[in-house]
Chain A
Amino acid sequence: MKSMFTVWWKELLELSRDRRTLMLALVMGPLLAPALFVGLLTLAETRAKDQMEKPLTIAMVGAEQAPNLVAWLAGQGIQRKDFKGDPDAAIRSQAEDVYLRIGGDYAQQWRDGEPALVEIVHDSTRQDAEVPVRRLENALARYGQQVGALRLLSRGINPAVAAPLAVSHKDLSTPESRKGIAMAMLPYLLILSAFLGGAYLIIDATAGERERQSLEPLLATPAPRGAVVSGKIAAACSVGLLSLLLTLLAFKLGASVAPGIARQLDMGLMSIAKMLAVLLPMLFIGTSLLTYIAAGAKSVKEAQSYMTFLMLMPMIPTIVLMVSPVKNQLWMFAVPFLAQNQMLLKVVRSETVPPVEWMVYFAAGFGLAALLWFAATRRYHQERLAISA
């Protein structure tokens, strides 16, 4: 125990002398993710607002065929734009988001009471065009319904006859859970910083120490190997915890200064404390796993090349859940990464987490961490670990 404390203290002392690494770990990391997150959210929000509310000006081909439609659209905030040249080419070159083509026989068809052709021309792979297209679509649908109803009335028929269904939405999402949608990326960012927060320190303290040839003398001391490993893991966890705390506080700060959605995030102190508790097992799992990997790697370079792969691991549940959302089940709280993801989502959506879920979560998380810790300790007992040259 005393040896563990000695190792822990020495690793932290050494790190504290390395100002630049310390700055990167404790300042850059915790600031970058929240800044990015809040910035992106704000950007997306203002952009969506712009597109929804600003008057939309689009090209309309064949507008002279349908002066009434054009006038009605203008009343809906969709204005006609003077446009010369090939509109299809303009869509392809992304100069225009969308344009309206009014069929050549529109006037004739209109007079005959036949469905008159209007085309919405756009590129469906362009995210930016999504909102204008939807606006135009909705406006045209409303116009069609209105005129249809008028035509029925003029023939003495109740328009309700042609509308057997009245479809409406009733949104039961709470204001809190709506924030959750915006925060789908937040769990990934947090899990990642917990999982790999202590990575550089632990790789340096294991593979790096071996490369600098100071591991052999260390292992020749009577300090038990288990204590040496645990001290190193404890040091990395301490740094990881501090960096995580700073990240969460930076998120809180970012949420309180940024406008719109970001201002409404559940970033109260209680929820921050809960998030920290959720991320704690991840921190241990990450550092123990990296110790295990670094103790088996031949060099720092080899140990670091695992990082790219490890960075993808927390992303798996986020992506899987985006593609096929599933209902929470108890077993999920035992699966690493997925469990953290679900727990964090629950916390930011201000849902209550039942005690049984907390229990399964902590038992599985700390159980896995203990297993990895044990494996790392076993690796420290291997002969080839100490032999550097």
Chain B
Amino acid sequence: MIVAENLRKTFKSKTGDVIAVDGVGFEARDGEITGLLGPNGAGKTTTLRMLYTLMAPEQGRVLIDGRDVAADPAAARRALGVLPDARGVYKRLTARENVRYFGELHGLSREEIDRRTQALAQALQMDDFLDRQTEGFSQGQRTKTAIARALVHDPRNVILDEPTNGLDVMTTRGLRGFLKQLRDEGRCVIFSSHIMQEVAALCDRIVVIAHGRVAAQGTPDELRAQTGQDNLEEAFVRLIGSDEGLHA
């Protein structure tokens, strides 16, 4: 379970401070998929980076499984599986070696890594390219490798930043199935997206973020009720105040 409380982050720029995230708070429960929905530049990636301790919030705090991440960032990272916005893989290593490297950094034994690699390769359908060097991988193959290495230590909580970005329809479908599988295993899954349809198709709870703030949150039904719109798309437009990102 991941709880974000009143997170705030500003960046310095030449024209003055830019408030990227302003008072964002939400709760992502175990056994649920929580979607962070918002247009580009809304502050989703910054929010996620604070969740996985890459950035320290100026205000507020993050609790993972009830523990404050600021107190023990290493423990928080151990409890998290993270697919960041940056998902570069090592080109000279095979997909299996990429996953193994991260497993070793998590302190897993060789047998454990092999067992997890096999399970993940099967779930993500990556058997046919598992032992190839990742140079020349397709976007989908790279993303799968990055997801496998993020989950090699079998974390209870999973954070994925725009996981379907740049993937084709079939790969996206496969990935959705995989995320549902993670949820059914009782994990807490958070993913961000700027595509309304995707969030609608997958999420148990939706957090709509616009201009660094939470515009609304709740189940899809609650959002529809809150805005008085039958259609989730209309509800989204109403919430963020524009139709930006809808047709991406």
Contacts and interface: CB of A to CB of B under 8 A. Distances in A.
A6 B101 contact: yes
B93 interface: yes
A3 B105 contact: yes
B110 to A, nearest CB: 12
A216 B133 contact: no
Contact of B54 (A7, A13, A219): A219
Contacts of B89: 214
Contacts of A209: 88
Interface in A18-52: 18
A216 B53 CA distance: 11
Contacts, number: 82
A301 interface: no
Interface stretch (A72-80, A220-228, A264-272): A220-228
Contacts of A13: 92-93, 97
A224 B53 CA distance: 13
Given A6-B104, A224-B74, A213 B54 contact: no
Contacts of B150: 217
Contact of A221 (B55, B75, B77): B77
A17 B132 CA distance: 13
A212 B91 CA distance: 9
B63 to A, nearest CB: 18
Interface stretch (A118-126, A163-171, A381-389): A381-389
A341 B124 CA distance: 57
Given A216-B84, A216-B85, A383-B54, A222 B74 contact: yes
B107 A220 contact: no
Nearest to B81: A220
A113 B220 CA distance: 122
Interface in A200-224: 209, 212-224
B84 A17 contact: no
Given A2-B107, A216-B86, A383-B55, A18 B101 contact: no
Contacts of B75: 222
A222 B56 CA distance: 16
B132 to A, nearest CB: 13
A221 B102 contact: yes
B93 A217 contact: no
Contacts of A212: 88, 91
B88 A220 contact: no
Q: Bin chain A's interface residue count.
A: 20 to 34
Nearest to A220: B82
Nearest to A7: B105
Interface in A365-389: 383, 386-389
Q: Bin chain B's interface residue count.
A: 20 to 34
Nearest to B73: A222
A53 interface: no
A142 interface: no
A386 B85 CA distance: 11
Nearest to B85: A389
Contact of B90 (A14, A219, A221, A222): A14
A134 interface: no
A235 to B, nearest CB: 13
B196 interface: no
B55 A217 contact: no
B86 A383 contact: no
Contacts of B83: 217
Contacts of A383: 54-56
A10 interface: yes
Contacts of B78: 222
A217 B77 contact: no
Contact of B146 (A10, A217, A219, A389): A217
B180 to A, nearest CB: 23
Given A220-B82, A383-B56, A213 B88 contact: yes
Contact of B133 (A7, A17, A221): A17
Given A3-B105, A3-B107, A217-B150, 12 more contacts: A13-B97, A17-B92, A209-B88, A214-B86, A215-B88, A217-B88, A217-B102, A220-B80, A220-B84, A222-B77, A223-B105, A387-B49
24 contacts: A3-B105, A10-B93, A10-B101, A13-B92, A17-B93, A213-B87, A214-B86, A214-B89, A217-B82, A217-B88, A217-B150, A218-B105, A219-B54, A220-B53, A220-B80, A220-B82, A220-B84, A221-B106, A222-B74, A222-B106, A383-B54, A383-B56, A387-B49, A388-B86
Which 9 interchain pairs have the tightest Cβ spacing? A213-B88, A214-B88, A213-B86, A17-B92, A216-B86, A223-B105, A222-B77, A212-B88, A6-B104
Interface of A: 2-3, 6-7, 10, 13-14, 17-18, 209, 212-224, 383, 386-389
